[in-house]
Structure 1
Amino acid sequence: MDAEQLKKLVIDSLEDVKGREIVALDIREMSGVTDFMVVCSGTSNRHVKSLAHNVWVEVKKRGIVPLGMEGEDTGDWVLVDLGDVVVHVMLPEARLFYDLERLWQVPVPGSDED
């Protein structure tokens, strides 16, 4: 499964359990570590854990071995590392505080950000 297909599987898995504000960031030009970051919000610690767990289960069903999962003990922010896709499932407060979308935003040539 290529990175685009894996990204779609992740997004579908998050949507299946009502993930909120799902954003996929293409960071291939910015990082050699992963191709995509998917960021999603959950409504509670339990929901965040459930979202991350569903991603884990769905990729394993398709024969993909996740590299790891961190943060499931607290559930404020759970990271699922799938190699080509890294998934961040966060409570809205954590998402706002860490602002990963802005951090990994690709600057547009000629804009004030480059």
Structure 2
Amino acid sequence: MNSEQLLDFALDKVDDMKARDVVKLDVREVSTVTDYLIVCSGNSKRHVQSIADNVAKAARHAGEEPLGQEGQDVGEWVLVDLGEVVVHVMQDQTRSLYDLEKLWG
């Protein structure tokens, strides 16, 4: 998949799990690490973990092995690195604290 297809794929997978306040950020102009960031919220620790797990499992099933997954055990902020797309799933308090949309936007 190219980066736009991977972005659409990941957006679909977070939507499948009813992620809230989904924001996609095009960071190609400011990052050499990734092309897009997806930032979304879950209602609880378990919801955050489930959203991230769904993205990672679906990516593997589609032949796109995640480069990494961090924070799954804590569930405050789980990051799924798909290379050209990085998915951040956060609880509301953590999302407000780090404000990635402002940092990268």
Unaligned stretches of 5+ residues in structure 2: none
Structure 2 counterpart of 1:50, one-letter code: S
Amino acid at match of 1:32: T
How far the C-alpha of 1:56 sits from its partner, in A, is: 0.4
Which residue of the partner structure matches residue 31 of structure 2? 31
Q: Deviation string for 1:54-84 (max 9, x for gaps)?
A: 0001111110010010001110000000100
AA in 1 matched with 2:73: D
Aligned with 2:64: secondary structure? coil
Secondary structure at 1:64 match in 2: coil
2:88 — aligned with what?
88
- Give the corresponding residue for 2:71: 71
How many corresponding residue pairs?
105
Greater gyration radius: 1
The two structures have a TM-score, normalised by structure 1, of 0.91
Aligned residues with identical type, % of pairs = 54
Partner of 1:3: 3
Equivalent position SS for 2:32: coil
Query: What stretches of structure 1 move > 4 A for 4+ residues in a row?
Result: none
Q: Which residue of 2 is the match for residue 12 of structure 1?
A: 12
Cα RMSD (Å) of the superposition?
Answer: 0.4
Question: Structure 1: 5+ residue runs without aligned partners?
Answer: 106-114
Tell me which residue corresponds to 1:40: 40
For 2:33, give the aligned amino acid.
Answer: V
- Which has the larger share of helix? 2
